[in-house]
Structure 1
């Protein structure tokens, strides 16, 4: 039997098991989403949102959140090499060769994204995150100007003392300690993590050290103060992309030298990113209906990137403020909530490029400075009539500007202020019956070029770049069947103008251009069961989850390099992804997570002349708890790429010289133990 046939059989078996399900845990439809301090039952939310809680987050390997993100319809995480990954929400990687752009990221109260829209997501440890909410498409009101989406990451909110140790293939080692506790009026958390790996390919070792501290001080019944400190020291080597022929000869090799350029290993290509982020937030209830929130934070980033053609240093300073007033009022069958606020940030970056002498700085090339200032005022409202009709309407006024200055070898400066944008967002949900809702949503998104796009690795200021923007419209259904099965389906139609796309020159350096428009239509579906208790030992419990994304993304009015690309499929976006997670519990102890990820073929350049192969990857995880008098030992074994598939987990799209491919590891394992006291 083929592995595809086996997957279909497992899906069918899961449906049969679900018909025999006994009692269940909390209703899936009653899960609460935060929506930035406005808790709402999932079934009545107007948002295009998915939640990754403990069951999904347990799938992650120590270095990434890829397994959790990729189980979510409409979300996709790619890894070019360990610690070099990117996140896409509904195709937003079109402009992200690496890292996270065009997606707003928050950590508890605090803002991880800088004022230009870039987020160093890879500085975080997956173990730090206790819950993740993924908002797909423009939200515009409370979250500002993005077209991709928003991530809300949450850390621990309950007492915990745990130690985690793991080791695995390719010299992988991971260690973490977490201590969180309510002590009087304080809830504090200390989290420490160390991770390293030699990795599958040459020139792709990675190492991360992280410390996270927080304290939530409820000093009166009406007010609380929240302080946070995050320090991350990340360094990883970058092997570079291969051609198809090079990958077929040796999947493990780093980018080799050419007649004109040295190779990745010879130049010791890699990244060193040291970041410190600190902030305080304050909440105060002014009365029965009024409350106020304010946040102040700052961060510093020391970034080094020895590359094939240069050695780049970046020094970044970031400051941000968020504040809003809230009003809530309820009558017999009607409730109303309003929020008026502002969020803004300043990002200053000094960039120095030198010749790269085998991983060391040599002769200076260019020194430049950028200052980005962005912000938005927002007004949002929630309306609830008789627990049947729910509205979420918001509008924001967004501004973005940057100043640039060339310091060496010549001098020059300038300032660009993009046109202010009014971005409305409308959402309505109607509850047709218990556990059955329909929702409609429309919103406008706008995304200005980031610092790395204005001044990209070709070391030129791209002063002609303008923000991309567009309207998103969608329709969704959520239905709970018989207190056992939950299904959600969403159809969206997003039309983007002035799309920002990536280009590479012959040296492998990137630059960005605005190219025409896109039509992005898609259908996303989620089918999830309760955790069924069979009242016996074999099996004891069972739960399944299946998600899928089916896209028709096209370029419109798009020409480049004297070619017409209109009507072509959107670069780097697979038309179909189908993911599944089956959880079995045997003997009331042994837990088995069996997951699959199918990805259809993907266009690797705008001309659609090169496509990837489709891929089918399976993972399996075994977890076994051992209880002691005052502690619990959780043993686990993860086997990644169970079928030993040859596949690529992150492509370099539009790569010069057809160096599209970053091969993923073959079958590998991680074994570990976590002790909860």
Structure 2
């Protein structure tokens, strides 16, 4: 049925440009789009920033299936997002998933300037729908000098464009595995005072057995410009997420039936019999205030409160977590301009506090029974930071920053034989960063940087799903050396960026899994992480006054040589082995074509090298190639309404591969199979109030 629907849609799309009565307004500029970076409080063009930063804008997000951000992030060098089952995400920036059995750890995430990573170190990125994201900035490598503790990097997510267009946005899409996605958004007001209301409902039966998913997200965002000096904005989000967890498969199970969920084994029930799943609800509200004291000095401050409630029946127990937390961040920016020089100084602080509770029960077919453990968790993390950026004559720039960080986790066990209080505190860790750049030609910037990263173990690592408290874990830290260039050529139609890094990480925290699939963590000595990340984008056409108005080729490549430098477990020496879960080479490439009548096509290819699955490197996930594409017709229906009809296919060659391997899994239960060939299609309408188009 889905294939028939797709063929009909493609036929309609092929005829649509001929039948179109009204053409869309098009940008006739032949050069690549100017990208402004807000990371490190730079507010400068991407090509002028001396850091490895990738910006994923709306156009890059919209070229895929509009259900999640995974494919757009995986086209980014140095970044790899995984989906173990629908709704279960992991985000890898330069090896950060070493600590992530699920979710996002060791990466600091902000949403509309609000800390989205909780004080325990977890980020529930799956509580955001695709439609809660307008742009993403990915900071690769240690960003602790301005964004607190973390060795993996930082992600800045913005939900709204700088210029709002009042109106109504509606979209519906459907696809393979009975996937359905509905989004409605209403934007009222203007750039002085606006309100945005949004709601998304998404469901899927999933590719594997026992992978049903449902997500509902409601948001309200407001922006008030009181006067030329101050602006106030607020973001409120409520997310209700449910997804089944099928569990990892052994190589034999994976080869016999890759779509299966974990079967019963010994004393452990199957994932289906245990009704293994995640029930997750999150409420978050944050207020952002910007105030300009003078032409040279301004402040941005954020305060927020959040509450998450998680229920997680597994094959070994049933876990309930309540996680209320609050926090804030304030940044002062001072700017001074001279004839050929300028100085910007940013300073401030960030703090978060959580009062969590985690209870584990026996699991009786998906229902809790006898209490096994009951833990109160008091956690906090604070940081203070300062950064200066000096731009000198001769196109030289120097950036220097440092932060000081403190964190603490106190766990009070309320039940059982081992009741009492245990505290792990990590004090006064300094995280400096220095970068220097030189524009040696009008289109060529060279830069280099040295930074130190610091990341204490999070709450879920001190108290993992084994329910065994481990206060012996130490914070990981390391020094990152980086150099690269950014260039614009051929009248700014060709953009090329290459950066190389060498990261020495000590006390690296790595994930283990026991026979039941529960995770626990160890410090793994030291690692040496070397890599080269490159990307290029080329605007094919010198002008857009033709049938094809825009055509772009792009490609990215990541080379990672990540090795254990000094790591022994009892008498076993893993020194020199490849870090598990990280492919040595990944590549992505694509072509985007848009025509003046409104028809467009986006084609994408992705390749991953084989990946080690354990510290011993005795088991490997095979390499794989993926190909897919989207085509559609976008046109104006009158002056105020834009329609977009689209259809597409992912994994067109039906490749069997695992996306989100459970590394170091006992019993070799590594594999979480990704979907085979799958199709999607949909329609969207954008109605603009008072539009003059």
TM-score interval, smaller chain: over 0.9
Aligned position for 1:667: 677
> Could you report, residue by residue, the CA deviation over 1:186-227 in whole angstroms, capped at 9, with x for unpaired residues?
122211100000011111010000011111111111011111
2:632 counterpart of 1:623? yes
Of stretches 385-394 and 302-311 in structure 1, the one that deviates more from structure 2 is 385-394
The verdict on how the C-alpha distance between 1:407 and 1:387 changes in structure 2, with shifts beyond 3 A counting, is farther
- 1:553-607 Cα distance to aligned partner (Å, 9 max, x none): 1001101253110000011000000001211234642211100110000000000
- Equivalents in 2 of 1:328, 1:362: separation in Å? 60
Q: 5 Å matches for 1:359-438?
A: 359-386=366-393, 388-410=395-417, 411-438=419-446
Q: TM-score, normalised by structure 1?
A: 0.94
How many residue pairs match? The answer is 655
> What secondary structure does 1:617 align onto?
strand
CA apart distance, 1:239: 0.4
Partner Cα separation in structure 2 for residue 528 and residue 556 of structure 1: 36
CA contact (8 A) 2:64 2:629 kept: no
Give SS of 2:454's match. Answer: strand
Report the aligned-residue RMSD. Answer: 1.6
What is the CA-CA distance between 1:326 and the residue it aligns to?
1.8
Partner of 2:236: 229
SS in 2 for 1:418: strand
Matches within 5 A, 1:528-607: 528-530=537-539, 532=541, 539-586=548-595, 588-607=597-616
CA positional deviation for 1:26: 4.5
Deviates more, 1:520-529 or 1:404-413: 404-413
Report deviation, 1:482.
1.2
State the alpha-carbon separation in 1 of the partners of residues 108 and 344 from structure 2.
24
SS at match of 2:621: coil
Q: Which runs of 5+ in 2 are unaligned?
A: 1-26, 688-693
Tell me which residue corresponds to 1:295.
Answer: 302
CA gap of 1:370–1:577, structure 2 versus 1, over 3 A, is same
Secondary structure, counterpart of 2:496 in structure 1: strand
SS in 2 for 1:118: coil
Contact 2:91 2:104 in 1 (8 A): yes
| 1:350 pairs with 2:322 | no
Q: Is the 8 A contact 1:64 1:83 kept in 2?
A: no
| 3-state secondary structure, aligned to 2:252 | helix
Counterpart-to-counterpart distance in 2, 1:675 and 1:241: 40
CA displacement at 1:84 relative to structure 2: 0.7
1:478 aligns to 2:486 (yes or no): yes
**Could you say which residue in structure 2 is the equivalent of 1:322?**
329
Asked if the contact 2:30–2:542 (Cα under 8 Å) also holds between the matched residues in 1, the reply is no
1:137 is matched with which residue?
A: 141
- Asked if residue 458 in structure 1 is aligned to residue 466 in structure 2, the reply is yes
Question: Is the 8 Å Cα contact of residues 60 and 126 (structure 1) preserved in structure 2?
Answer: no
User: How many Å apart are 1:141 and its aligned residue?
Assistant: 1.7
Q: Does the Cα contact within 8 Å between 2:241 and 2:279 map onto a contact in 1?
A: yes
Which residue does the alignment assign to 2:666? 656
CA distance in 1 between counterparts of 2:151 and 2:630 reads 35
Indicate conservation of the 8 Å contact 1:63/1:82, yes or no.
no
Greater CA drift, 176-185 or 662-671: 176-185
Determine the structure 1 residue equivalent to 2:457.
Answer: 449
Distance 2:587 2:160 in 1: 30
Q: CA deviation at 1:254?
A: 0.6
Q: Which residue of the other structure, out of 178, 182, 185, is the alignment partner of 2:192?
A: 185
Structure 1: how far apart are the matches of 2:273 and 2:537?
A: 49
Which residue of the partner structure matches residue 4 of structure 1?
none
Q: 1:642 aligns with which of 652, 670, 673?
A: 652
- Please tell me whether residue 502 in structure 1 is matched to residue 506 in structure 2: no
Distance 1:113 1:532 in 2: 42
Distance, in Å, in 2 between the alignment partners of 1:536 and 1:297 is 49
**What are the superposed Cα offsets for residues 391-425 of structure 1, whole Å, 9 maximum, x if unpaired?**
22100011111111001123210222113111100
- Report matched runs for 1:251-266 at 5 Å: 251-266=258-273
Does the aligned pair in 1 maintain the 2:533–2:559 contact within 8 Å?
Answer: yes
Query: Which position in structure 1 is the counterpart of 2:4?
Result: none
Name 2:48's counterpart in structure 1.
44
Match of 1:493 in 2: 502
- Please give the per-residue CA displacement for 1:242-265, whole angstroms capped at 9, x wherever unaligned: 011111111111100012210000
Residues of 1 paired with 2:90 and 2:231: CA distance? 35
- 1:62 is displaced (CA, Å) by 4.3
Partner of 1:84: 88
Q: CA deviation at 1:540?
A: 4.3
1:119-141 CA-to-partner distances (Å, cap 9, x unmatched) read 00011011221111110001222
With normalisation by structure 2, the TM-score equals 0.92
Moved more, 202-211 or 626-635: 626-635
Hey, what's the Cα distance between the residues in 2 that align with 1:104 and 1:531? Answer: 36
Aligned match of 2:97 in 86, 89, 93? 93
Task: Indicate the SS of the match to 1:141.
Answer: helix
196-205 or 526-535: bigger deviation: 526-535
Q: Show structure 1 runs of 5+ residues with no match.
A: 1-21
Distance 1:40 1:183 in 2: 25
2:174 corresponding residue in structure 1 = 167
Q: Could you tell me how far 1:480 is from its partner in structure 2?
A: 1.1
SS in 2 for 1:261: coil
Please say if 1:215 is aligned against 2:219.
no
Deviates more, 1:616-625 or 1:585-594: 585-594
Q: Is the 8 A contact 2:179 2:205 kept in 1?
A: yes
* 1:519 corresponds to which of 528, 543, 564: 528
Aligned residue number for residue 7 of structure 1:
none
1:210–1:43 CA distance, 2 compared to 1 (3 A)? same
1:274 aligned partner: 281
CA contact (8 A) 2:175 2:678 kept: yes
Q: Does 1:633 align with 2:643?
A: yes
The answer to which structure, 1 or 2, has the higher relative contact order (CA under 8 A, 6+ apart) is 2
Match of 2:257 in 1: 250
